[in-house]
Amino acid sequence: MNIIVTGGAGFIGSNFIFHMLKEHPDYRIVCLDKLTYAGNLSTLQPVMDNPNFRFVKLDICDREGVYKLFEEEHPDMVVNFAAESHVDRSIENPEIFLNTNIIGTATLMDACRKYGIKRYHQVSTDEVYGDLPLDRPDLFFTEETPIHTSSPYSSSKAGADLLVLAYHRTYGLPVTISRCSNNYGPYHFPEKLIPLMIINCLHDKPLPVYGEGLNVRDWLYVEDHCRAIDLIIHNGRVGEVYNVGGHNEMKNIDIVKLICKALDKPESLITHVTDRKGHDMRYAIDPTKIHNELGWLPETKFADGIKKTIQWYLDNESWWQPIISGEYQNYYEEMYGNR
């Protein structure tokens, strides 16, 4: 089996590559990544010498480059993680989100049509369903929940999902889609809530909580997401969408307090800042379908996963220090300077 994994130098894609090389040592994995600000080649260092692994620096919107790679590799599957993934950045500049997330997805699928493929898998997000109200804890996102997006990020991901389903119906492309809730774990880029709070805590810097911090996210340890995708690409039904989530809803403020406690830092570091525009209140996944059809269940409890994650950031300063001392400084100043 030869699999092209796009966006494999990012957070979830890199964890997926490690998972696949470990669980399927006879597979060939080709990582295609543009190495944007969010892509980090040092993350993939541990597998660079693996004879079953190849890294290719490429933009998924580069049609010629993508076709050439397909001619070289004849992949059996494509798993598309490549995306602009940060809601706050999409609010500042939507355009790149439309290019990478929509045009890039179409380009990859055109290559799959041209050269043939056993499976194209689109890594999507629960954010395509919009949000749920805080006063209706009985409501969850199912695969039948209508698409109802809030941010340029989620809209671009929803646009891609619709295209993927259209390529299935129109051209018979063998596709699957997974829509997962918020992930956390090793190699999470420091602009996102959990790593940002851990790293700020370690520097005794203010912890910028948007609004009151009452927004709820449904957190899943990244390895559980990787296992879900592995199951879907092998056993999932073509043309289907699978929701992935672990029934682990937490308010932002509670996560930040938990991180303070784990690192023995005072809660007085918490600073409430101007809320995100259009901020989604609650995400909550109903994972019944993937459980019933594929037997998937999350394995890592949040209490264990967050401990492991904090320890990983303590042990791997050499990974995140170069990130936060580069271009990230300017981003941080722009986002949080006058907030």
Question: Which sequence positions are flagged as catalytic?
Answer: 126-127, 153
Interface stretch with ligand NAD, choices 11-19, 109-117, 168-176, 256-264 (CB under 6 A)? 11-19
Interface stretch with ligand TYD, choices 9-17, 50-58, 204-212, 312-320 (CB under 6 A)? 204-212
Determine, following the binding rule CB under 6 A, whether residue 100 of this chain makes contact with ligand NAD. yes
Q: Cβ contacts of residue 236 below 8 Å, gap of 6+?
A: 176, 242, 293, 294
Determine, following the binding rule CB under 6 A, whether residue 34 of this chain makes contact with ligand TYD. no
Among 210, 221, 242, 302, binds ligand TYD (CB under 6 A): 210
4 interface partner picked from ligand TYD, ligand NAD, none, CB below 5 to 8 A per type: none
Alpha carbon distance 95, 104 (integer Å):
13
User: For the chain, how big is the Rg over CA atoms in Å?
Assistant: 19
**In the complex with ligand TYD, which residue's Cβ is closer, 19 or 205?**
205
Among 5, 29, 30, 60, binds ligand NAD (CB under 6 A): 60
Alpha carbon distance 163, 157 (integer Å):
10
Angle at 50 between CA 45 and CA 55, to 5 degrees: 60
Residues 260, 266, 268, 269: is their CA dihedral positive or negative? negative
196 interface partner picked from ligand NAD, ligand TYD, none, CB below 5 to 8 A per type: ligand TYD
CA 190 centroid distance within chain: 13
Spell 247-285 as b/e; 16+ CB within 10 A means b.
ebbbbbbebbbbbbebbebeeebbeeeeeeeeebebbbb
Determine, following the binding rule CB under 6 A, whether residue 55 of this chain makes contact with ligand TYD. no
Determine, following the binding rule CB under 6 A, whether residue 104 of this chain makes contact with ligand NAD. yes
Among 90, 122, 215, 300, binds ligand TYD (CB under 6 A): 215
Provide the binding-site residues for ligand TYD, judged by CB under 6 A: 87, 182, 192-193, 196, 208-210, 215, 217, 252, 276
Provide the binding-site residues for ligand NAD, judged by CB under 6 A: 6-7, 9-13, 33-36, 38-39, 59-61, 81-85, 100, 104, 123, 125, 157, 180, 182-183, 189
